[in-house]
Chain A
Amino acid sequence: MNIIVCVKQVPDPEAPPASFKIDSTTNKVAPQTNIPPVISPFDEQAVEAALRIKDAKGGKVTIISLGANLLRDVVKKPLSMGADELVLLEDPAFVDGDSWSTAYALAIAIKKIGQFDLIFCGRQAADWDSGQVGSCIAEILGLPQITVAKKVEVVDNKVKVEKVTADGYEVIEATMPALITVSNELGAARYATIKGIMAAKRKELIIWKPADIGADTAKIGVAGRRTKMHKLFQPVREGKCEIVTGENEEDAAANLAKKLMEVKLL
């Protein structure tokens, strides 16, 4: 099995909301000081899904990450979890794209890699929450897609997926090659092993520039955007919380019930 996983470096989405700031002059997110970036959590679970298939069937897992000035410690994490190869599409020309221009670059890089049975992406990246790159890659490469997976298996040369739905899940089968996007219901990603971390340190990365993959520079990054962002802002929350107190916690709780009765919320 040849498996490709697309992985994005993002600001830590679990950082406290109060640390999030926008630079209104540039319409950009201000870098969070002291909070290191991470791999987008759904992408990490996409790596996990790929490794589970590698565990069961053998094969090779190749990670692709697109960005500029990517932190090696962050993007190498999938290698330390057990992935085999890391390809970076690393160039300023690749960044600040929308789902379309990002997927275009990833798709032609995937074509250059050549051999693949499955492509995994996270269901959405934790920064822009676009939720489209997987579908776009599938569309460009003409592959079947199954999105929001919680279980992925390969059975009789087909991929069998449990897809999360609003009230349960569906079991869907597709021919391969196919593209799957992964959700947190898959379960936690494995930890890096010491052996993995050592191997990741030694591993030579493959770095591709736009010319290396034959990318049409009008179609990548900012230049290739089909959507334009006009404004980025933080909605104001006028929080006025009335803290209900009492002699002790039980008393405060009883006072809360009384209060809610008073304002007809009970």
Chain B
Amino acid sequence: MADNKGVMIFTEVVEGKLAPIAKELLGCGRKLADELKEELSALLVGSGVASFAAEAIAFGADKVYVVDDALLKDYRTDAYVAVVEKVAKQANPRILLLGQTTIGRDLAPRAAFRLGTAVTLDCVALEIDTSSKLLLQTKPVYGGNAQAIFTMETSPQMATVRAKAMSALVPDNARKGEVVTVAAGLDAAAIKTNLLQKVVQEVEGVKLEDAPVIVSGGRGIGGADGFKQLEELAKLLKGAVGASRPPCDNGWVSDTIQIGLTGKIVSPDVYIAVALSGSSQHLAGCSGSKNIIAINRDPEANIFKEARFGVVGDWKKIIPAFHAKAKELLGK
């Protein structure tokens, strides 16, 4: 551990952009690095990603390791684990952070165990313990019913971080940093999985993660027709439609709009929760919302414990009347 220094961020590039989670991680990593009085580095892995180094520096990195190789165009576990192993052994960071994303949750455990260390997935808070200098890793457990704080004494100390749990810095294009290119050195034969196809299920309208208003339906909506009404309301409010898990499992809506522990993490200004009970696993994905509005016929439903405003009753009566009044008030 004595030789390990600095904080390293695995910075993902998604759809030709530095991912929001990468910026959030750099913001969080900057704070940790400053506290340790050590360096913050970013690790950029992919094909054609070198150009993002400057942006990573603007968002807080002192140094950027770039591993650019055609074999890294698509994420494949074996290739990315090998790259993370190589760079981590070269740079010896004290702390290595990734996003709790499709890639992060697949890559982090395997890379951690390859490096002889461990990782805590899906952290919502990270702090340096003042006496031991160890990274305190706070993670929701039991579906969000509780939180646990973990540490590890192996290096690097690794964690993945939940979307929207950390804040990005305001980018400073005047910041200076160093760029280090590392050869991937991959053996194509050692990559045992093959990506055959990527299927994107487009959802119309505003993107769920960016929507300022979300109208979210639960099991009580009862079917795809009910969700049409929620869609119309979302359109009026310039928002997006989300769902708890049962509507996705039942095929009423696309799996990609599931909100929660194992779905999307959202934090809109307004989250209208309709006919969903507010399970801890669902709240894991929406408790960061600024205002939760609950509509449920059960006055004891857990969602009312999280909500700022609520109406008790049948959504089939409430949603149309609410829609009509909101339309009138908005002058549309």
Binding site for B on A (CB under 8 A): 11, 13-14, 16-18, 20, 22, 29, 98-100, 123-124, 126-132, 135-136, 138-140, 143-148, 150, 160, 164-175, 178, 183-185, 187-188, 226-235, 237, 239-245, 248-254, 256-261, 265-266
Contacts and interface: CB of A to CB of B under 8 A. Distances in A.
Given A99-B109, A164-B102, 7 more contacts: A139-B109, A146-B193, A184-B245, A184-B249, A240-B308, A249-B318, A253-B321
A244 B312 CA distance: 8
20 contacts: A13-B142, A14-B279, A99-B118, A129-B121, A131-B109, A131-B122, A139-B110, A171-B198, A172-B195, A184-B249, A226-B152, A227-B151, A228-B153, A230-B151, A241-B305, A242-B309, A243-B310, A260-B326, A261-B326, A265-B270
B106 A144 contact: no
A252 B192 CA distance: 59
Nearest to A183: B262
Contact of A249 (B105, B150, B279, B314): B314
Nearest to A98: B118
B329 interface: yes
Contacts of B200: 167-168
Contacts of A132: 109, 119, 121
Contact of B199 (A98, A171, A235, A250): A171
B82 interface: no
Nearest to B146: A234
A186 B264 CA distance: 18
A252 B256 CA distance: 32
Contacts of A169: 199, 201
Q: Which of A169, A249, A251 has the most CB of B within 10 A?
A: A249
Interface residues of B, number: 85
Interface string B301-327: 010111111111110011111101110
B276 to A, nearest CB: 13
A14 B305 CA distance: 17
Given A99-B118, A131-B121, A252 B311 contact: yes
Contacts of B199: 168-171
B281 A226 contact: no
A232 B141 CA distance: 9
Nearest to B254: A168
Interface string B249-289: 10000011000011010000110000000111100000000
Contacts of B45: none
Interface of B: 77-78, 101-102, 105-106, 109-110, 113-114, 117-122, 136, 139-143, 145-154, 192-202, 237, 245, 248-249, 255-256, 261-262, 264, 269-270, 278-281, 291, 293-294, 299, 302, 304-314, 317-322, 324-326, 329-330
Nearest to B280: A17
Q: Is the interface of A mostly helix, strand, loop or mixed?
A: mixed
Given A228-B151, A233-B146, A243-B312, A257 B306 contact: no
A93 B95 CA distance: 31
A135 B142 CA distance: 20
Contact of B291 (A123, A172, A265): A265
A256 B197 CA distance: 46
A144 B77 contact: yes
A123 B325 contact: no
Contact of B309 (A187, A233, A241): A241
Contacts of A130: 121
Contacts of A187: 249
Contacts of A241: 294, 304-310
A167 B201 contact: yes
Contact of B322 (A17, A245, A257): A257
Q: Is the interface of B mostly helix, strand, loop or mixed?
A: mixed
B146 A254 contact: no
A256 B118 contact: no
A169 B38 CA distance: 39
B146 A20 contact: yes
Contacts of B147: 232-235
A105 B143 CA distance: 25
Contacts of B118: 98-100, 226-227
A176 to B, nearest CB: 10
Contacts of A139: 109-110, 113-114
Q: Which of A135, A188, A251 has the most CB of B within 10 A?
A: A135
Contacts of A126: 142-143
A169 to B, nearest CB: 5
A250 B317 contact: yes
A45 B237 CA distance: 38
Contacts of A11: 142
Contact of A100 (B113, B151, B324): B113
B193 A144 contact: yes
A161 B33 CA distance: 40
A119 B117 CA distance: 24
A127 B281 CA distance: 11
B113 A229 contact: no
A194 B110 CA distance: 40
A144 B311 CA distance: 50
Given A144-B192, A146-B193, A253 B149 contact: no
Nearest to A27: B148
B330 A266 contact: yes
B143 to A, nearest CB: 5
A127 B198 CA distance: 31
Contact of A136 (B109, B201, B311, B326): B109
Contacts of B101: 166
